[in-house]
Amino acid sequence: MKKIYLVSLLLISTLLWACGGNVEKKSEEAADTLAAEQAQRMPVVDTPDTTVYGRADGFGQGGFALVADDGRLLELALTNEADGSIDGHYARIYGDRDDTARYAVTICPDGESVGTVINLSQLDRFTSHYRIHNGTVIITDGENEDPVVIEQLDDHNFKAKGKSGKTYSFKL
Instruction: Give tens-digit pLDDT for 95-150.
Output: 999 988 999 999 988 888 899 999 999 999 999 999 999 999 999 988 899 999 99
Question: Are β-strands 114-119 and 92-94 bridged in parallel, bridged antiparallel, or unpaired?
Answer: parallel
The number of folded domains in the chain is 1
**How does residue 45 score in pLDDT terms, banded at 50, 70 and 90?**
low
pLDDT at position 131 is: 96
pLDDT at position 3 is: 54
89 against 142, higher pLDDT: 142
pLDDT at position 90 is: 78
The tens digit of pLDDT for each residue in 17-32 reads 555 544 443 445 555 5
pLDDT at position 150 is: 97
Considering Cα of 122, then 123, then 125, then 126, what sign does the dihedral take? positive
Domain that holds residue 68: 2-171
DSSP string, 37-63: HHHHTPPPTTSPP--EEEEEEEE-SSE
pLDDT at 11 over 60: no
Mean pLDDT of the chain: 80
